[in-house]
Amino acid sequence: MKQDKKIFLASKSPRRKEILKDMSLDFEIVDSDYEEDNSVESDPVKLAKIHALGKAKGALKYVDEGIIIGSDNFVVLDGKQMHKPKDKDDARKMIESLSGKTHEVICGIAIIDKLSGKEVVDTSVTKVTFIDLSKEVIDRYIEVADYIGKAGAYGVQSEASVFVNKIEGSFTGIVGISKELLLEMLNKFD
């Protein structure tokens, strides 16, 4: 991919960083002073867009020129948003509720060109189906897995990969940022 502008990723997520590296993008990590508030919108697709754009806008003051990418992910089950677990009990409840069901992972992406002010915001929705999980499997997962900081209390690229029966959509959209959608959006910038 030909890259004319400097790219900044407004995220400290190691997963998003790895995905952009895999896309052979030349980018820098930049801070964002955006504070997420999940109560501002009940529609999960709109909320993902709000957070992604907020993160990108929150990084504008830290760059002189270039484009800034903001992103946000969360899990939606039966129309209800599942964010990052607060503790072990919260994580256990999340995994139990996902067991044997299909849920959606919403990935919001926003890109802002600092100089022109051009903004592009979009989302990808990926459906993920978990197998039925026994209490013992869930307990073991809670003891050994790194679920902290992960929407829905799981990372599809790590221990929870064995829970997945089927994925419909962007795998990287579940991991951290949909590279298919990101590439499509980047193509809208010079």
What digits encode the pLDDT tens for the residues 131-142?
999 999 999 999
Residues 13 and 80: their CA atoms lie apart, in Å, by 24
The reply to whether 79 falls in a domain is yes
Spans of the chain below 70 pLDDT: 1-3, 190
Question: In terms of residue numbers, what domain contains 149?
Answer: 7-186
Q: Find the CATH number of the domain harbouring 180.
A: 3.90.950.10
Q: pLDDT at position 2, please?
A: 57
The reply to whether 2 falls in a domain is no
Q: Look at the chain and report how many structural domains it folds into.
A: 1
Q: pLDDT at position 115, please?
A: 93
DSSP tag of 65:
S
The reply to whether 102 falls in a domain is yes
Q: pLDDT at position 125, please?
A: 97
Take residue 49 and report the two structure tokens written for it.
């867009």
The reply to whether 46 falls in a domain is yes
Count of residues making up the chain: 190
The residues annotated with a catalytic role in the active site are 72
Q: pLDDT at position 170, please?
A: 96
Residues 150 and 64: their CA atoms lie apart, in Å, by 31
Q: pLDDT at position 157, please?
A: 86
Take residue 185 and report the two structure tokens written for it.
């959006």
Q: pLDDT at position 104, please?
A: 97
> Could you tell me if 129 and 165 are in contact, meaning their C-beta atoms sit under 8 angstroms apart?
yes
Phi, psi of 164 (to 5 degrees): -85, 125
Q: How many CB atoms lie within 10 A of CB 132?
A: 10
Question: Residue 183: in which H helix or E strand, if any?
Answer: helix 179-186
The reply to whether 154 falls in a domain is yes
Q: pLDDT at position 55, please?
A: 97
